[in-house]
Copies of this chain bind each other. A is one copy, B any other.
C-alpha cells in the first residue's frame, strides 16, 4: 500500500527521486523567474509541455511541498501557483545548471542566459539571495 519514494539514502539519488525528470525543474525555473504563474503561463513556456504532463507535475510538486496553488482574487477560473521556501531553495541547483551550460553549451544557449551566467559568476551570493526570499 505504501509506495516507496526513495531508492537509497543518497542525497543525490533522493533529490532525483523527487524532481529528477525533464519537467519539474522547468516549472520551478518559471516560478523563480516570475514568482507567480498560471497553468496557461506554464503551457506557453518555450519547451511546449503537454497539458497532461503539466497537470501531473504541478500536482506532484504541490503534494511534495515545492509549490502552492491558490485562487485568483477576482477570476474564478484561474489558479495561481507560487513556490514555497522548499521550492525556492532549488535555486542554487538551477544556478549551477546555468553555469555548466554556459561553459559547455555556450554556442547553443540564449544571449540572455549567458548574461545571467556572467552575473552568477561575478556575484553568485548576491544574485542567488534575490531568489531565497518570497
Contact = CB atoms under 8 A, between A and B. Distances in A.
Interface string A65-109: 000000000000000000000100110111111111111110011
Contacts of A89: 100, 103-104
Contact of A101 (B11, B98, B105): B11
* Number of copies of chain A assembled together: 2
Name the prevailing secondary structure of the A interface residues: helix
A15 interface: yes
A17 to B, nearest CB: 7
Interface residues of A, number: 43
A73 to B, nearest CB: 30
A112 B29 CA distance: 30
B98 A12 contact: yes
Contacts of A22: 16-17, 20-21
Contact of A12 (B10, B94, B108): B94
